């Protein structure tokens, strides 16, 4: 049996009295494009932070590529690329300076770093902005740069926290093609986003987290079959979209209350 | 926009309601802001760090209060003696001193003051007048304003005790003078922040600043020559009485020479300063005291001109705040045409070569961090300022030592004292070395480079910079005061070898446990950490105390050579502690990871 790219057992994170993530157990196979979904505040970013070593779990274990993962797993970190929630950019550097810095921090030699920096800047259409400080970049440009930094060392596992937020349609298309290319070459991608159309198009498997607990996990087709089987006969005839599946699952958890009328709004 | 220009909505009073910046709506906003500040204060205490901050702030407040009361009392005593015993012509000097305290201290303390960024209020329907008023009112909490205010209060008491009849006039004059200072200091910082907000103006400002520092340093040899021309001792080894007589003659000769050479120039300076705010305030008071005919109207005239300065300072501040209020865009995006030209040029120049310049070719993470630090430092004016400003004061202090030396020689321990002062500029670099990383702190935890390597690289870079700065300060001191005793030089170097790793060891711990975010584009409106600042001061006082104790003892015993081995032993211990600290850095960083990222990544 092939080793899972990402494996968690009973992953839990508490902040004082609040349990942000509770007993999350999941497995992501190598070469899988995995979508991790959930409403706001469900625990997606907390989970991704724990999986990438940015946050210490309160309980549970994490294995990446079959090895236990913690803050000290430096060799394992070389196999991982991350676009975190805060993007990890350094505003006072230019894009090429930043990418060169990141490449060297991941242990690439100077020649390879330079070569990849140039290629990535061209690919991300940032080469013309090479003199501008990152702090002066638009949000979308910063996202593209964060993506470039996440892949410069050729990671085997890529964690993406809302990578398409603020990115224009042309760049988003380009990034999706790049990610699909990585999957085709055997990389594993763990993606969180609120744009369900993207997940539906790119991901083969999804997990849904709600109120810190994993409420669904499997291929999109498995989830669809599961949800459709709970619907009354007439409704089973239409093929459900991921958005409908998501709303059905999360709504079933009692989150989805009918919106009340705000009488004072125009 | 509804609620601002349009008719009031259901439940919304609208800006116009109540009218004016003291109207009902504005008052409600001030109250909301006061509540906000109170909630921020209370919520801050919920976490351990907040309670620590409160303790540190209380201690700092006691220090500032003691300093302020001492300064105010000193100013009051000076004012009393000047006005009671006919020294009115020297009153401008006192007011100029207050003026400089008021305008210069905020620069020195900007990094240690936690300041509220009022820019966040602009999203609300706030009148411009209210915004202006709030900006000024928040300035009243600045340390400089409190110190300046205490000085003015002291001067008021001093003059009133000496000349009770001038009670009202003094209150009025000093009140207007204080208003001018409050508005000016706020205007200066509002404009500096504006210039720092854009890369081009930031770089120009940085260049001007560097030129200023270099100019001051180049000034030294010239001053040094002047000094030697004036104080050269022609006597050699004659007896003490003869020496004293000749020294008195020399003093008279120097005084005459000074008067001849600088007298006309000083006259011109005096004529100009009389029309500037401190001079105007002093002149107005002097005229009010004078019994000569027409002096009262002259006093009113001076007060009127001072009032004009207040309006001018308010106008300069208003112009800046109005732009902020209107939502100015400080983006650096060039025009479409200009952007196309720049792109074409860059594509052409990029053909066949890697983009961007390189500083260090080393592949390893240490070279990468050092290169990043160099680039960040060069683009972070507050840090350049923090390093450069003490050098200017070394120049000033070395002048003090020239005069304080016995028998015409400079104070023998001037070199170590100047070194100590130059070191103070590194407080922020040593004790908050991660502060300018912002969201980039995440990268250190994501990458396979251990935190100890990152800190080691930062320590190496800061040490090199520290060495360079001390070298400049040392050369500066030697040029100004003459070559110091070689044994003092050796002892000073040995002390530095002790002080540097001590500061680095403590600084690494502080950087991981009490970091605060440094906004590289601002001098004012920085967040800060009183706990970090106070802790850093305490460690530095300890290191300085050890240094002073050893220096003092060896000097007293007339065995300065002894200081060298003593400091070297201390240095060995400090290096050991520093290395142990680096070894534990990853453990500590992982323990503090959450709060470190939360602090450095917070907006604003």
SS3 B602: coil
User: Domain total for chain A?
Assistant: 1
How many cross-chain Cβ pairs, A to B, lie less than 8 Å apart? 146
Band (pLDDT 50/70/90 cuts) for residue B403 is: low
Q: What is the pLDDT of residue B512?
A: 93
Cα–Cα distance for residue pair B117/B325, rounded to 1 Å: 13
The residue segments making up the domain with residue A191 are 32-42+78-250
Q: Do B440 and A89 touch (CB under 8 A)?
A: yes
Please name every residue paired with B217 in a beta bridge, in sequence order, or none if there are none.
none
Listed in sequence order, the residues at least 6 apart from A1 whose beta carbon sits closer than 8 Å to its beta carbon are none
The string of pLDDT tens digits covering residues B350-384 is 555 555 555 555 668 899 999 999 888 887 776 77
Region A112-126: what's the mean pLDDT? 93
Q: What is the pLDDT of residue B116?
A: 62
Residue A252 has pLDDT above 60, yes or no: no
CATH number, domain of A89, equals: 3.40.50.300
Query: Buried b vs exposed e over A3-40: b needs ≥16 C-beta within 10 Å?
Result: ebbbbbeebbbeeeeebbbbebebbbbbbbbbbbbbbe
Residue B255: Cβ-neighbour burial (10 angstroms; 0-12, 13-18, 19+): exposed
Whole-structure pTM value = 0.71
Nearest one of A25, A21, A22, A20 to A8, comparing CA atoms: A25
Q: Does A158 touch chain B (CB under 8 A)?
A: no
Cα dihedral A132, A133, A134, A139 in deg (nearest 10): -60
Total residues found in chain B within this entry? 604
Q: Do A110 and B446 touch (CB under 8 A)?
A: no
Q: Is residue A85 part of a domain?
A: yes
The string of pLDDT tens digits covering residues B422-441 is 777 788 889 989 988 888 89
Region B597-602: what's the mean pLDDT? 82
* Average of per-residue pLDDT values in chain B: 78
A121 touches B376 (CB < 8 A): no
Region B566-585: what's the mean pLDDT? 94
User: For a pLDDT cut of 90, what percent of chain B falls above it?
Assistant: 25
Give A10→chain B minimum CA distance, Å: 21
Band (pLDDT 50/70/90 cuts) for residue B567 is: very high
Q: What is the pLDDT of residue B476?
A: 76
Q: Is the ipTM of this complex over 0.95?
A: no
Which residue ranges make up each domain of chain B? 57-198+273-325, 365-601
B20: left (phi over 0), alpha (psi -120 to 50) or beta: left
Nearest one of A111, A185, A178, A125 to A150, comparing CA atoms: A178
What are A200's two structure tokens? 């539906």
Region A47-75: what's the mean pLDDT? 88
Region A92-107: what's the mean pLDDT? 90
Q: What is the pLDDT of residue B583?
A: 93
Q: Is residue A157 part of a domain?
A: yes
What are B238's two structure tokens? 């004659």
Cα–Cα distance for residue pair B109/B338, rounded to 1 Å: 40
Total residues found in chain A within this entry? 266
SS3 B229: helix
Q: Is residue A228 part of a domain?
A: yes
Residue B460 has pLDDT above 80, yes or no: yes
Region B301-308: what's the mean pLDDT? 91
Give B430→chain A minimum CA distance, Å: 19
Residue B24 has pLDDT above 90, yes or no: no
Lowest mean per-residue pLDDT among A190-199, B329-338, B555-564: B329-338
Region B487-497: what's the mean pLDDT? 89
Region B483-510: what's the mean pLDDT? 90
Q: Is residue A245 part of a domain?
A: yes
Band (pLDDT 50/70/90 cuts) for residue B333 is: very low
Query: Which of residues 103 through 132 in chain A touch B, CB cutoff 8 A?
Result: 104-110, 113-115, 117-118, 121, 127-128, 130-132
Q: Looking up tokens 């390879």, which residue turns up?
A: A112
Residue of A nearest to B381 (CA): A92
Alpha helices in B326-425 (DSSP H): 336-350, 365-378, 381-404, 414-424
Band (pLDDT 50/70/90 cuts) for residue B232 is: very low
What are A260's two structure tokens? 């009340």
Alpha helices in A82-128 (DSSP H): 95-105, 110-123
Among B343, B362, B442, whose Cβ lies nearest the Cβ of A84? B442
Residue A254 has pLDDT above 50, yes or no: no
Give me the half-sphere count of Cα atoms (radius 13 Å) on the Cβ side of residue B599. Answer: 24
The string of pLDDT tens digits covering residues B240-270 is 777 778 888 888 888 788 778 778 888 888 8
Q: Do A54 and B601 touch (CB under 8 A)?
A: no
Cα–Cα distance for residue pair A73/B447, rounded to 1 Å: 10
Element (H, E) at A125: none
What are B31's two structure tokens? 């109250």
Q: Is residue A92 part of a domain?
A: yes
Contacts of A87 in chain B (CB under 8 A): 439, 442
What are B371's two structure tokens? 């290169």
Contacts of A96 in chain B (CB under 8 A): 354-356
Measured at the CA of A156, the angle between CA A152 and CA A159, to 5 degrees, comes to: 80
Please name every residue paired with A19 in a beta bridge, in sequence order, or none if there are none.
A14
């Amino acid at each position: 049996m092939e080793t899972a790219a990402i494996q968690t057992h009973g992953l839990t994170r508490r902040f004082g009295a609040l349990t942000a993530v509770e007993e999350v157990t999941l497995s992501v196979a190598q070469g899988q494009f995995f979508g991790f979904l959930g409403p706001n505040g469900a625990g997606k970013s907390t989970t991704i932070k724990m999986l990438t070593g940015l946050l210490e779990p309160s309980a549970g274990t994490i294995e990446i590529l079959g090895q236990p993962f913690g803050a000290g797993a430096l060799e394992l970190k070389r196999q991982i690329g991350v676009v975190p929630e805060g993007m990890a950019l350094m505003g006072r550097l230019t894009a090429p300076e930043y990418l060169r810095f990141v490449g060297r921090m991941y242990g690439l030699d100077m020649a390879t770093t330079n070569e990849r920096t140039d290629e990535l800047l061209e690919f991300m259409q940032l080469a013309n902005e090479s003199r501008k400080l990152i702090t002066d970049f638009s949000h979308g440009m910063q996202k593209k740069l964060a993506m470039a930094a996440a892949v410069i060392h050729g990671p085997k596992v890529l964690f993406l926290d809302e990578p398409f937020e603020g990115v224009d349609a042309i760049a988003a298309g380009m990034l999706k093609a790049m990610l699909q290319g990585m999957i085709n070459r055997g990389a594993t991608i763990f993606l969180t986003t609120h744009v369900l159309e993207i997940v539906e198009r790119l991901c083969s498997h999804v997990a849904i987290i709600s109120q810190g607990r994993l409420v669904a996990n499997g291929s999109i087709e498995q989830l669809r079959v599961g949800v459709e089987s709970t619907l009354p006969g007439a409704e089973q005839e239409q093929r459900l979209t991921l958005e409908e599946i998501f709303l059905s699952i999360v709504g079933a958890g009692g989150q989805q209350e009918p919106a009340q009328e705000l009488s004072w709004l125009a | 926009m509804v609620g601002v220009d349009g008719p009031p909505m259901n439940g919304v009073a609208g800006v116009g309601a109540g009218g004016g910046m003291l109207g009902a709506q504005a008052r409600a906003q001030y109250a909301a802001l006061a509540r906000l500040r109170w909630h921020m204060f209370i919520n801050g205490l919920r976490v351990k760090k907040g309670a620590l901050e409160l303790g540190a702030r209380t201690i700092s407040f006691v220090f500032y209060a003691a300093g302020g009361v001492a300064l105010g009392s000193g100013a009051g005593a000076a004012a009393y003696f000047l006005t009671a015993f006919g020294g009115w012509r020297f009153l401008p000097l006192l007011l100029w001193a207050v003026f400089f305290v008021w305008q210069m201290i905020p620069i020195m303390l900007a990094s240690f003051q936690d300041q509220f960024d009022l820019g966040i209020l602009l999203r609300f329907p706030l009148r411009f007048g209210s915004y202006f008023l709030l900006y000024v009112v928040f300035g009243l909490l600045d340390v400089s304003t409190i110190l300046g205010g205490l000085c003015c209060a002291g001067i008021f008491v001093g003059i009133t005790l000496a000349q009770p009849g001038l009670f009202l006039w003094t209150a009025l004059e000093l009140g207007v003078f204080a208003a001018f200072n409050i508005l000016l200091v706020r205007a200066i910082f509002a404009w500096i922040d504006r210039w720092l907000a854009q890369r081009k103006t930031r770089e120009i400002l940085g260049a001007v600043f560097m030129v200023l520092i270099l100019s001051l340093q180049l000034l030294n040899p010239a001053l040094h020559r002047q000094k030697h021309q004036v104080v050269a001792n022609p006597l050699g080894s004659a007896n003490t009485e003869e020496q004293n007589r000749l020294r008195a003659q020399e003093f008279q000769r120097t005084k005459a020479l000074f008067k001849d050479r600088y007298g006309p120039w000083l006259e011109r300076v005096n004529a100009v300063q009389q029309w500037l705010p401190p001079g105007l305030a002093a002149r107005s008071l002097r005229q009010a005291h004078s019994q000569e005919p027409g002096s009262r109207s002259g006093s009113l005239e001076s007060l009127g001109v001072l009032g004009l300065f207040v309006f001018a300072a308010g106008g300069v501040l208003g112009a800046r705040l109005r732009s902020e209020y209107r939502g100015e865009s400080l983006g650096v995006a060039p025009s479409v045409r200009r952007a196309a030209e720049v792109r074409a040029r860059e594509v052409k120049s990029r053909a066949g070569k890697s983009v961007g310049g390189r500083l260090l070719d080393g592949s390893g993470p240490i070279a990468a961090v050092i290169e990043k630090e160099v680039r960040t430092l060069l683009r972070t004016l507050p840090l350049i300022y923090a390093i450069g400003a003490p050098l200017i004061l070394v120049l000033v202090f070395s002048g003090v030592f020239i005069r304080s030396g016995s028998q015409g020689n400079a104070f023998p321990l001037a070199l170590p004292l100047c070194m100590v002062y130059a070191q103070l500029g590194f407080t922020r670099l040593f004790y908050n070395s991660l502060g300018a990383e912002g969201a980039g702190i995440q990268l250190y935890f994501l990458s396979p480079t251990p935190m100890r390597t990152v800190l080691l690289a930062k320590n190496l870079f800061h040490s090199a910079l520290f060495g360079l700065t001390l070298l400049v300060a040392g050369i500066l001191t030697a040029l100004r005061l003459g070559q110091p005793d070689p044994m003092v030089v050796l002892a000073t170097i040995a002390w530095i070898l002790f002080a540097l790793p001590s500061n680095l060891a403590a600084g690494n711990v502080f950087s991981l446990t009490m970091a605060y975010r440094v906004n590289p584009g601002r001098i004012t409106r920085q967040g800060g950490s009183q706990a970090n600042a106070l802790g850093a001061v305490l460690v530095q006082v300890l290191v300085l105390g050890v240094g002073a104790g050893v220096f003092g003892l060896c000097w007293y015993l007339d065995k300065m050579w002894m200081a060298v081995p003593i400091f070297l032993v201390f240095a060995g211990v400090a290096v050991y502690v520093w290395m142990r600290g680096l070894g534990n850095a990853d453990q500590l960083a992982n323990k503090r990871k959450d709060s470190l990222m939360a602090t450095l990544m917070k907006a604003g």
